[in-house]
Amino acid sequence: GKNLSARLNESKEFSVLSFTRDDSSNTLQEKIKESDAIVHLAGVNRPKNISEFKTINCGLTESICQLIRSEGTRDIPLIVASSTQAKLDNPYGKSKYAAEVLVEELFLGTGNPVAVYQLPSVFGRWCKPNYNSVVATFCHNITSGLPIKINDPKTQLTLVYIDDVITDIIRLLNNQFIGFSRPIIRPEYSIPLGDLARQIEGFKENRNTSFIENIDKDFNSALYSTYSSYLASTNLK
C-alpha cells in the first residue's frame, strides 16, 4: 500500500484516498463513495488470534463488496491482492480463498469489474522483517549484524518485485479493465533459499552489486535496491 500510494502520488495523474486499520467503517463508506476504483491490499497472515484471518481477510473484503453494491448505478473497478496460498489448506490460505469467492460473487451478481492477483512472496522496500517476507528478514538482519536462520538452503522460493506489482496495478487503473480477471506479475523469480542468503551477504561484504553466477541480472538489481533500503534505515538509527 505504501509503495502504491507513493508511485500514484508521484505520477500526479491520480488522487489517492487511503484507508488503513486506524480508520473506521464509516470512513470506508465515505471513501468508496468518492472512489473511481479500489485497490484492496489489506490483509493479515500472522495474527495473534486465528480468528483474525476471517475478521480481516474476509470481513473487510465483504464490507467493500457490500459498499460497492450499495452504489447501485455505477461500477467501481476493484483490484484485490490475494496469495498463491489461496490454493493451500491452511487457515491463511482458506481466508484468502474465501475473500476471492466474495469478490467473484460481486462480479457475477453485478458485473462490477474485478481483478485478483494471486501473488507469491513479494519483496522490496518497506516490507516488514520477521513477518511475511524472507527477503525483508534477511536484509534487515544482515544490515543490522544479526544472524539469519535457514532450515533448508535448497528450499525454492518464488518471488515478485514490488515495483513490478505496482507497475501492473497502474496498468489496470489506466486501462479501465472490465470483467473478471487474474493478472499475473512478470517477471517472476525463482531462487533457492541458500543462494538468496549468500547474495544478500555478498552485498554486505562487497558494498556493491556483486553478481552471483546463475542469478538473473534484473533480480540482482532489484534485490540490491531492496538491500540498500534496509541499509539506509539501519544507518538512520
The residues carrying an active-site annotation are 92
Give the DSSP letter string of 118-146.
EE-EEESTTPPTTTT-HHHHHHHHHHTT-
Selection from 224, 115, 78 nearest residue 163 by Cα:
224
C-alpha triplet 172, 27, 69: angle, nearest 5°: 55
Contacts of 64 (CB under 8 A, 6+ apart): 28, 32, 38, 40, 78
**Can you read off the three cell numbers belonging to residue 201?**
551477504
CA-to-CA separations, 39 to 4, 56, 132, 213, in angstroms, rounded: 9, 16, 20, 38
Give the DSSP letter string of 65-83.
HHHHHHH-SS---EEEEEE
107 three-state secondary structure: helix
